[in-house]
Structure 1
Amino acid sequence: MLEARLQTVRVNLTELIPAVFLRRPNRFLAEVLMEDGRRERVHCPNSGSMKGCLEEGAPVRLSRAPSGRVRTTAYTWEMIAINGGWVGINTQVPNELAAQAAQKRALPLFRDATAVHREVPAGNHTRIDLRVETPSGPLWVEVKNVTLVEDGTAFFPDAVTARGTKHLDVLVDRVRCGEQAAMVYVVQRTDARRFAPAAHIDPVYAERLRWARGEGVGVCVVQARVSPEAIVLERFLPFA
C-alpha cells in the first residue's frame, strides 16, 4: 500500500532523442554522437563528478532545449544506460519528485503536509529545497540526486561537497530551533539494494550525515525507476 502510493509520483518524459555518450569536457557540457553521425555538445544538468556514469559508447537520451530560451546548446542530457539499466542524471528531477511526493503525501515524512514551498532561504546564506508546512510547524527538506552505485550500494556524494555539508549544518540548526528537518536521497537507478554515505569519497560529509541523524534530522532514501518514458518513484532503500 505504501509503495503503491509512492509510485504515483512521477515525471513524464516526451520525445527524448537517442544518442551515444562520447565524453564530458567539463561539468556543464557533454559530447554525444547523434543518430545521423553528427557530434553534438549538449548541456549536462549535473555538476557532480558523475563517477560511474561516464561510459564511452553508452546509449543516452536527450531532451530538446525549451523554445524561446537563449542557450548555446540545443539539447539537455537526461539519462545514460549503465549496467543494463537507465540512470537519470538530471539533478532537477529529484526536486520535482520530492515536491510531488509532499503535495500527494506519498512519503511517511509528508503525511501531515498542508503546503509546499520550493527553494526557501533557511539561514546562513543557504536555500533549502523544500519547506513543507504541517500543523506542528515547518518541515525543512533538502533533496539529493544519487547516481553512484558500487556493489549494490548507492553512495552520496560522488565528489567532495562542502555545500552538501553546509546543508546538513543548516538542517540541524532548524531542528535545534524546534522545527523538523530531513534529507531525501533519490536514487535514479534500479541496481542498488541499499544506501550509504560515501565515506571513501567525502569522509567529512559521511561523518556529518551520521551526526545530523543523531541530532534529529530524518533521512529518507527512495529509488526511482528511470526509462525514456517516465521517471517514477518505486521503493524505499535501507540506510546502511
Structure 2
Amino acid sequence: MTYQNIIRGEFISRPNRFIANVLINGQQQVCHVKNTGRCKELLVAGAEVWVEKCSDPARKTAYDLIAVKKGDRLINIDSQAPNKAVAEWLEREKPFGAELKLLREQTYGGSRFDIMLKSDKTDKRIYIEVKGCTLERDGIALFPDAPTERGVKHLRELAECRRNGNGAALFVLVQMSDISYFSPNYETHREFGEVMKEAQRCGVRLMCYDSIVTPDSLTVGKPVEIRL
C-alpha cells in the first residue's frame, strides 16, 4: 500500500494518544496519530518522522503521522496499514488457494474479523485477523505493546471458528524489517500469549511476516519465526 504527499518532520511531543506535535518545514504542526498504542520507545523528542499531508480541508488536523525512525530502522506506525497490506498480499500470493475470494470486515460470533476468504463453489470459509506490530526490543518483535482485551477476544473467536469447522488464522505483520523472531509480549499481557497458544492448539494458523517499509509505502516482506 502507498501514501501520497509524504513529508519529513521531527517529533516534538504527544499530548494524548490521538495527536502529536511535529516540526514540519520549520513550523510546529498538530498531527493525527494513526495508532492508539503507547509507542513510547518510538515517539521520543527529536525522532525523525514522516507525515502524510491530507487533502480534506474540513479536517481538524492537516497531517497524519505515518512512520518513525528508530536507530537504523524505519517503522510504519499506521494501525490501518497492515490490513490493507495483508489484503494486497493475500490477493497476490493466494497462500490459501487460488479459488478463494477475499472479503473485508466480516462478522463471526461476537467479533468482526479483518478478512474472510470464501469459495463460491463450496462452503469453505477462512477467517483472518490481522495485527500490526510496532514494538521491537533487541531485534525481537513483540505484541501487544499494551494490554488488549480485544485481541484476546479475537483469538478466542478464531479458536471457535476452528471448532465449528471453519478455517482461521492470525496474521501478525511486523511493521519493520530485520527481525530475529516474534513473540507474544508476556510481560505486558500474559493472557494474550496464553490464549495465542490455546488458539494454535485448536488449529488456528499463526502467521508472521516482516515488512518492506519506505516513507510512502508498506509491503508484506519475509516470514518471521514465531516463538510462543
TM-score grouping bracket, smaller chain normalisation: over 0.9
Alignment of 1:75-114 (within 5 A): 75-104=63-92, 106=93, 108=95, 110-114=96-100
Range moving further from structure 2, 42-51 or 148-157? 42-51
Is the contact made by 1:189 and 1:223 (CA closer than 8 Å) also made in structure 2? yes
Partner amino acid, structure 2, of 1:20: E
Amino acid in the other structure paired with 1:39: Q
Tell me if the contact between 2:86 and 2:220 (Cα under 8 Å) persists in the aligned partners. no
Give me the whole-angstrom Cα distance separating, in 2, the residues matched to 1:81 and 1:196.
Answer: 22
Tell me, what secondary structure is at the counterpart of 1:78?
strand
Q: Partner residue of 2:156?
A: 169
2:89–2:220 contact (8 Å) kept in structure 1? no
Counterpart residue type for residue 233 of structure 1: V
Structure 2 gap segments, 5+ residues each:
none
Distance of 2:54 and 2:2 partners within structure 1? 16
Q: Does 1:179 align with 2:181?
A: no
Q: Is the 8 A contact 1:62 1:77 kept in 2?
A: yes
Kindly report structure 1 stretches of 4+ aligned residues shifted beyond 3 Å: none
Taking a change above 3 Å as real, the CA distance of residues 116 and 107 of structure 1, as seen in their structure-2 partners, is closer
Whole-angstrom distance in 2 between the partners of 1:168 and 1:107: 23
Task: Identify the residue that residue 117 of structure 1 maps to in structure 2.
Answer: 103
Q: What is the rounded CA distance, in whole Å, between the counterparts of 2:59 and 2:27 in structure 1?
A: 19
Match of 2:21 among 27, 31, 36: 31
Gaps of 5+ in 1: 1-10
Q: Counterpart of 1:25 in structure 2: which amino acid?
A: P
Deviations 1:46-80 (A, max 9, x none): 11111421121011111122436x32100100000
Asked if 1:206 corresponds to 2:197, the answer is: no
Aligned to 1:46: 35
Q: Counterpart in 2 of 1:133? A: 118
Q: Give 1:113 deviation, angstroms.
A: 4.9
Gap change, CA 1:184 and 1:61, over 3 Å in 2: same
What do the CA deviations read for 1:173-203 (whole angstroms, capped 9, x no partner)? 1111100000001111114210000001100
Instruction: For 2:127 and 2:192, locate their aligned partners in 1 and report how far apart those are by CA, in whole Å.
Output: 19
Structure 1 residue 238: Cα displacement:
0.3
Normalising by structure 1, report the TM-score.
0.89
* Secondary structure, aligned partner of 1:111: coil
What code does the residue aligned with 2:48 have?
P
TM-superposed CA distance for 1:229, in Å, is: 3.7
Distance 1:23 1:216 in 2: 43
TM-score (norm 2): 0.94
Structure 2 Cα separation of the partners of residues 51 and 208 of structure 1: 26
1:195-226, Cα deviation, whole Å (9 max, x unpaired) = 00000110011111111111111111010011
Q: Distance in 2 between matches of 1:142 and 1:212?
A: 12
- Distance (Å, rounded) in 1 between the aligned partners of 2:17 and 2:6: 22
Of structures 1 and 2, the one scoring higher in RCO (CA 8 A, sep 6+) is: 1
Quick one: which amino acid aligns to residue 33 of structure 1? Answer: L
Task: Rate the CA distance shift 1:192–1:81 in 2: closer, same or farther, 3 A.
Answer: same
- CA RMSD between the two structures: 1.5
Aligned residues: 225
Percent identity between the two aligned chains: 31
Contact 1:148 1:154 in 2 (8 A): yes
